Chains A and B, each alone.
Chain A
Amino acid sequence: AQRVTQPEKLLSVFKGAPVELKCNYSYSGSPELFWYVQYSRQRLQLLLRHISRESIKGFTADLNKGETSFHLKKPFAQEEDSAMYYCALSGSGGGADGLTFGKGTHLIIQP
């Protein structure tokens, strides 16, 4: 079974400080990994996916298959980054497990 673990429920950093949101996964095949974000009173939306290898709003995430991790990083946090962040995994086995999400990390950027 596929599983996503986000060890931090809450992460609070000061504006301008680096941010790293941790995500580890368990999957026997080749997964596709995503980060989704939910800003206050808004819909859950895609932030980035590992196959795109792009930086969105200054965030990057590298898939490390050896460590089965997909940590989300940003060098300088901004107040508007405060939100709930969910790591998600989609397996390659035909979609029966759907998109599996972690429990989420609430990121708070303090001024």
Chain B
Amino acid sequence: GAGVSQSPSNKVTEKGKDVELRCDPISGHTALYWYRQSLGQGLEFLIYFQGNSAPDKSGLPSDRFSAERTGGSVSTLTIQRTQQEDSAVYLCASSLAWQGEAFFGQGTRLTVV
């Protein structure tokens, strides 16, 4: 595709439910990042993939959060038993290499009610 694609663009879920957020990076980009953007908190780094592997998962806020990437392409971020504090915009970005320019998706706005 022409850019990084994220789905859904908006998600409203009930507290306690699981949600899955999807990121489709730019074709050929080996590095993929997940960030969380909360009001007044800037961009919080969650996890980074180089290919299919994630060298460091310590940025994930809790064990309710997990992420995977298969085939070196699409990535999913899963939040189990959602809480109201999980409400935020979740951004995905990809780059050709880990130190290259990152291209961002439009984000998924998650609202937990």
A residues neighboring B (CB under 8 Å): 6, 9, 32, 34, 36, 43-46, 49, 86, 90, 92, 94-104
In the bound complex, what is the Cα–Cα distance between A41 and B102 (angstroms)?
18
Using a CB–CB cutoff of 8 Å, the interface residues on chain B facing chain A are 3, 31, 33, 35, 40-43, 45, 47-48, 50, 55-56, 59, 91, 93, 98-99, 101-107
| B104 and A90 within 8 A (CB) | no
- In the assembled complex, the Cα of A86 lies from the Cα of B107 at a distance in Å of 16
Q: Are B102 and A94 in contact (CB under 8 A)?
A: no
Contacts of B55 in A (CB 8 A): 94-96
When the two chains form their complex, are residues A101 and B43 in contact, meaning their CB atoms are under 8 A apart? yes
From B41, which residue of chain A is reached at the shortest CB distance? A103
Pairwise interchain contact A43-B42, C-beta atoms closer than 8 A? no
A98 in contact with B33 given A86-B42, A92-B99 (CB within 8 Å): yes
B31 in contact with A95 (CB, 8 Å): yes
* Contact flag A44-B91 (CB < 8 Å), given A32-B99, A95-B31, A99-B102: yes
List of A residues within 8 angstroms of B35 by Cβ: 101
Q: Which of B48, B102, B106 is the one whose CB lies under 8 Å from A96? A: B48
Give complex CA distance A6, B40 in Å. 12
Instruction: Give the total number of A-B pairs whose CB atoms are below 8 A apart.
Output: 62
Residues of B near A98 (CB, < 8 A) are: 33, 45, 47-48, 56, 59, 98
* Contact of A95 with B102 in the complex, beta carbons under 8 Å: no
The 9 A-B residue pairs with the shortest CB-CB distance in the complex, in nearest-first order: A95-B98, A103-B42, A101-B43, A98-B48, A96-B55, A96-B56, A44-B104, A104-B42, A43-B104
B100 — nearest CB in chain A belongs to which residue? A90
Q: Is the beta-carbon distance between A46 and B45 smaller than 8 angstroms?
A: no
Residue numbers in A under 8 Å from B107 (CB-CB): 43
B105 touches A46 (CB 8 A): no
Is there an interface contact between B45 and A94, defined as CB atoms closer than 8 Å? no
List the A residue with the shortest CB-CB distance to B56: A96
Given pairs A44-B104, A95-B99, A98-B33, 12 additional interface contacts (CB within 8 A): A36-B102, A43-B104, A43-B105, A43-B106, A46-B103, A94-B98, A95-B98, A98-B98, A99-B93, A101-B35, A103-B40, A104-B42
